[in-house]
Amino acid sequence: MVSLPRFRFRLSCVLLAAVLGACGGDDDPAPPVDNGGGNGGDNGGNDGGGATDQQPPQATLTAPAALATGLTGDIALTATASDDVGVTAVEFEADGGPVGPPDTTAPSGATVSVANHPPGQHIVRARARDASGKVSAWSSATVRFGGTAKVPAGFTLTESWVAGIARGTAMAQAPDGRLFIAQQGGDLRVVKDGALLPAPFASFTVDGNGERGLIGVAVHPDFATNGWVFVHYTSPAGGAHGRIARLVANGDVSDGSETVLVDLPVLSSATNHNGGALHFGTDGKLYVAVGDNAQRTLAPRLDSVFGKLLRFNDDGTIPTDNPHAATQAGLARAIWAHGLRNPFTFAVQPVTGTLYVNDVGENTWEEINLVTAGANLGWPATEGPTTEAGVTAPLFAYRQTDTDPPGSGPGGFFTGQSIAGGAFYPASGGSFPAPYASNYFFADHVAKSVGRLDPANGNAATSFARMAGNPVDVLAGNDGALYVLSRNSLARITVP
């Protein structure tokens, strides 16, 4: 601890009050913390009207070490800090949330309990603050926690909030809170008031082999008035192929009508890489994810709809402002982005319309892609991080196995074999604490994990939940809960 800088006043109190807005009040300010060897003396011979703060403070997180792994118990966070005038406090955070109050006493430290966090990747950091309110850059360390927690402290995970789901694939929520659950075998089920209704909303004859079947569902932005529900399924009629159809709700079941909007080309003998998700954008257009049907050479081709994100009007026609509407023919005019392998899930940010597409990788990487009109996402020329000309590199990618050393390189400690499920948590109005606002939640089917990207902190990726089932979809509910659909049940994550 060092004493306050000494000031030599040559102005009267009245003049000082006029210039600085202060008149030598009765309360002494809190002494600064300068625990990193910073200048705590006379501030370099400043003979003017007091010390002048020339620069922000500096901070260095000294523990834990970057890439520390297997951390358990209570972890000590320590940091050094310095400033040209004096450090008043050091702040510590874990995953974007504060760890205790700011420390005003040197040496600076805090304690984070691993038991309060699910195992996996976490980011701890520190920054310093000086008397004038300037703050240093964050000094961070990416680490891996052990332990057995399922969700962070303060959250509640109800693993089988709804049971009895048969081979779930996708879900969507109506404005009234009802959840539509797509089952691979062809039934579209409804969850109402926390219960799975016995009667399907609708049933379809599907080819359910491999990854085929009922694989996508969305509700229209004007569902409250038109009752429209959209589905993506594999129809066996005339050769197995993807079909986009529109239904109309009549209470908790459809009215029995089905309007076929789009029939995609007949599939190859491969029963995988069908994509499946469909969502409405903030532009009112229907976006549909289609896999490469295990024919990788089709993904970059602009005359094929395989390996693409497609964009339609809500009646199945093709918008004239699509990037290839004037240069391609037939359904290829619907292409919005290309170069995808198996985009099983994607999400739309409900205010900005930003599109994040999850692409299941082959042997090395799982991807989250920020998709814009005409984007080339690289497959099969690239997979994972890339600097390839003309390719939009993933916003975030993680490996299917640990790096050497573990945690190094893109993706950090995250590993998994099938990214499945994505949802943007609301920027405001949700029930989760402030650090989770606008976060993007994503799941991995094989790793049974849910992670989150924090856009306010450089898209830092941290572990959020460990699931008992294999996730296939994630949804931020209009009740503030986060829903995680697995093959056989629906989980719900809430805060009190």
DSSP string computed for 120-188: EEEEEEEEEEETTS-BPPPEEEEEEE-S--SS-TT-EEEEEEEE---SEEEEEE-TTS-EEEEETTSEE
Strands 308-312 and 335-338: antiparallel
Element (H, E) at 17: helix 13-20
Tokens of 391: 């390719």
Q: What is the pLDDT of residue 54?
A: 84
Over range 397-420, report the average pLDDT: 97
DSSP letters, 46-62, are --SSS----S--EEEEE
Three-class secondary structure of residue 13 per DSSP:
helix
Distance of alpha carbon 244 from alpha carbon 270, whole angstroms:
20
Mean pLDDT, the chain, integer: 91
The dihedral over CA atoms of 333, 215, 177, 317, expressed in degrees to the nearest 10, equals 20
Question: Tokens 């995988």 correspond to what residue?
Answer: 272
Q: Name, in order, each residue with C-beta under 8 angstroms of 429's C-beta and a sequence gap of 6 or more.
A: 480
Q: Residue 246 pLDDT > 60, yes or no?
A: yes
Q: Residue 302 pLDDT > 80, yes or no?
A: yes
Q: How many CB atoms lie within 10 A of CB 383?
A: 20
Q: What is the pLDDT of residue 52?
A: 76
Element (H, E) at 16: helix 13-20
Residue scoring higher pLDDT (270 or 43) = 270
Q: What is the pLDDT of residue 51?
A: 61
CB 33 within 8 A of CB 130: no
Distance of alpha carbon 435 from alpha carbon 432, whole angstroms:
8
Query: Which tens digits make up the pLDDT trace of 462-483?
Result: 999 999 999 999 999 999 999 9
Distance of alpha carbon 455 from alpha carbon 184, whole angstroms:
33
Distance of alpha carbon 83 from alpha carbon 230, whole angstroms:
59
CB 271 within 8 A of CB 297: no
Q: What is the DSSP-derived secondary structure letter of residue 395?
A: S
CB 70 within 8 A of CB 38: no
Query: Which tens digits make up the pLDDT trace of 66-95?
Result: 999 999 999 999 999 999 999 999 999 999
Peptide bond into 380 cis (omega under 30): yes
User: In a 10 Å sphere around its CB, with 0-12 CB exposed, 13-18 middle and 19+ buried, how is residue 159 labelled?
Assistant: middle
Percent of the chain with pLDDT over 70: 90
Three-class secondary structure of residue 223 per DSSP:
helix
Lowest-confidence range among 38-52, 262-276, 418-432?
38-52
Over range 104-120, report the average pLDDT: 97
Q: Which strand ranges, in their side-by-side order, compose the sheet holding 108-113?
A: 58-63, 74-82, 108-113
Four-residue CA torsion sign, 176, 182, 186, 191:
negative
Q: What is the pLDDT of residue 275?
A: 98
Distance of alpha carbon 409 from alpha carbon 359, whole angstroms:
19
Over range 100-126, report the average pLDDT: 97
Percent of the chain with pLDDT over 90: 89
Q: For 401, what's the count of Cα atoms within 13 Å in the CB-facing half-sphere?
A: 4
Q: Residue 201 pLDDT > 80, yes or no?
A: yes
Using alpha carbons only, how large is the chain's radius of gyration in Å? 27
Tokens of 402: 């640990």
Over range 2-20, report the average pLDDT: 34
Question: Tokens 């950090």 correspond to what residue?
Answer: 412
Four-residue CA torsion sign, 492, 443, 188, 286:
positive
Question: Tokens 């004239």 correspond to what residue?
Answer: 320
User: Which residue(s) pair with 121 in the sheet?
Assistant: 144
Three-class secondary structure of residue 115 per DSSP:
helix
Q: Residue 359 pLDDT > 80, yes or no?
A: yes
Query: Which tens digits make up the pLDDT trace of 16-58?
Result: 333 333 333 344 434 445 444 433 333 333 334 456 778 999 9
